[in-house]
Amino acid sequence: MEYLLFVFYLVLFAWLITKVRFYKTAGLSKSQLIIFFLLKIIAGIFYGWIGIYYGGLAQMWDTWGYHQNSVLEFRLLFDNPHAYFTNLFYNPYKEGFTQFLSTTDSYWNDLKGNFLIKVLSVFNLFSFENYYVNIIFLSFITFLGPLAIFRVMNDVFPNRKMVIMLGCFIIPSFLFWSSGIHKEGLIFTGIGLITYCIYFANKQKKLGIKRILGIIIGFLLVISLRNFIIIVLVPAIITWLIALKIQKKSLLVFSVVYVVFILLFFNARHINPMFDFPQAVVNKQQEFINIVGTTSFMPEKLEPTAVSFLKNSTNAFCLSILRPYPSDVKHFLSLASSVEVIMFMLLFVLFIFFRRKHERIGPFFWFCIFFSITLLLSIGFSVNNLGAIVRYRSVTLPLLIVPIMAFTDWKAIWGIFQYIINKINVIKF
């Protein structure tokens, strides 16, 4: 019966993505839509399989924990309907709702898990509490994120559809971590909605109710599931909008505005202690230090000062971008991540030497780069678990990789490759 249920929903939602307007007008063929959607479901199933059979090794117990809690939450709907509809807003902490960036014992810290559990509990009504059927439901929703980014990228970088598809749908770690029953898929959906609505609202000079609603939903998803991303996302959006108005020297605009935001980051606490952002990062780092894990390491301890952040910035950047190193490999997931990092570094080298120099780099490119880099830095400053780093990092990859791939002259690279092959063949004969 479970297999029949899975097949039924698989066919139903594969058909639906070819009928829903946002999906079918994305610039992809029906077969491409279905293939990418099925890849996402396969990745989600693989995620769950690893979680139950190799969870201890790969630090992936969470996914089945969320499912089991969602089953309990779903049953609460029948046992205590009032509690089911109100407990998401229940706050037992004496600080109330003020501790927005608190990492422990706060409503906002607990909301990220509670929200996901609530969403999954709704799925259980239709899936009969089946984990793998829930993957289909979640994939249908989280497919929206990469599709939204694809639509933006395809408009910003015309005639580069193939590399954009690869970057939005096929990056292994992004596909894996955003497809499982966890927070990453919904987080990226939130980021994708915000980016899509702002980009096309600006281009078409029309905001509209749908786009306002999309931006609100996007922000609610990010705030609910990983609120510190908002601290990184808002400056990137504001700077992007400023650069769009100025239209010249986008890199200079981003650099100047970000200097202002950095000053605010370290000094906002003098205006209101609630906005002590450096201390929030320090607290987050301490929280991870207190977590015992096989992929954990002892980081350089941060202090809530600009000097301490500056001293640790290089290490934080290398940690979030370059690890896991080959020496960090302990299982096939970390091996895959290590190989992927090497490929990313190769891609960056190709970008440096084969960049399309005749094309102007606009505000959207720098929005992607500045947002991704600052988010990666925030991860590097606070997280000391390699599994968590790889998972957290995954939501930046399409925004970081696609612009780099789009500005790389692949025809020139292919020409050089063919030249080398021809030379080798001449030598052989």
Structural contact between residues 98 and 145, judged by C-beta atoms closer than 8 angstroms:
no
**Between vectors from CA 346 to CA 343 and to CA 352, what angle results, nearest 5°?**
145
Residues 6+ apart with CB under 8 A from 336: 172, 173
**Between vectors from CA 44 to CA 43 and to CA 47, what angle results, nearest 5°?**
85
Total-model pTM: 0.92
Q: Give the integer Cα–Cα distance in Å for 376 and 320.
A: 6
Any idea which residue has 């096939």 for tokens? 332
Kindly list the domain boundaries of the chain, sorted by start residue.
Answer: 1-226, 228-429
Q: Dihedral through CA 392, CA 394, CA 396, CA 397, nearest 10?
A: 160
Structural contact between residues 99 and 108, judged by C-beta atoms closer than 8 angstroms:
yes
Structural contact between residues 352 and 293, judged by C-beta atoms closer than 8 angstroms:
no
In a 10 Å sphere around its CB, with 0-12 CB exposed, 13-18 middle and 19+ buried, how is residue 187 labelled?
buried
**Identity at 413, one-letter amino acid code:** I
Is residue 128 left, alpha or beta, with left meaning phi > 0 and alpha meaning psi from -120 to 50? left
**Stretch (H or E) spanning 6:** helix 2-16
Position 297 scores a pLDDT of 64
β partners of residue 385? 296
328 HSE (CA, 13 A, CB side): 24
Q: What 3-state DSSP class applies to 408?
A: strand
DSSP state of 290: H
Residues 6+ apart with CB under 8 A from 70: 116, 117, 118, 119, 120, 121, 123, 124, 134
Any idea which residue has 């594969």 for tokens? 14
β partners of residue 408? 355
Q: Could you please report the per-residue DSSP string of 295-364?
A: TB--PPPP-SSHHHHHHHHHHHHHHHHHPSPGGG--SHHHHHHHHHHHHHHHHHHHHHHSB-TTS---HH
Q: What is the pLDDT along the chain (429 residues), one digit of tens a residue?
A: 788 999 999 999 999 999 999 998 998 999 999 999 999 999 999 999 887 777 655 556 789 999 999 999 999 999 999 999 999 888 887 766 666 766 677 788 888 889 999 999 999 999 999 999 999 999 999 999 999 999 999 999 988 999 999 999 999 999 999 999 999 999 999 999 999 999 999 999 888 899 999 999 999 999 999 988 999 999 999 999 999 988 788 899 999 999 999 999 998 888 877 778 888 888 888 877 776 555 566 667 888 888 988 988 888 888 889 888 888 888 778 888 889 999 999 999 999 988 888 888 889 999 999 999 999 999 998 887 788 889 999 999 999 999 999 999 888 888 787 777 776 766 665
Structural contact between residues 257 and 238, judged by C-beta atoms closer than 8 angstroms:
yes
Q: Give the integer Cα–Cα distance in Å for 326 and 225.
A: 31
Nearest to residue 171, comparing CAs of 351, 344, 355, 350?
344
Any idea which residue has 């702002």 for tokens? 198
In the structure encoding, which two tokens stand for residue 414, read together?
A: 């292919």
Position 12 scores a pLDDT of 95
Position 293 scores a pLDDT of 52
**Between vectors from CA 44 to CA 297 and to CA 139, what angle results, nearest 5°?**
120
Nearest to residue 195, comparing CAs of 408, 389, 398, 374?
398
In a 10 Å sphere around its CB, with 0-12 CB exposed, 13-18 middle and 19+ buried, how is residue 5 labelled?
middle
Position 71 scores a pLDDT of 95
Strand ranges inside 8-116, DSSP E: none
Distances (CA, A) of 68 to 30, 57, 110, 140, 182: 35, 20, 17, 21, 13
Position 94 scores a pLDDT of 74
In the structure encoding, which two tokens stand for residue 85, read together?
A: 């509809």
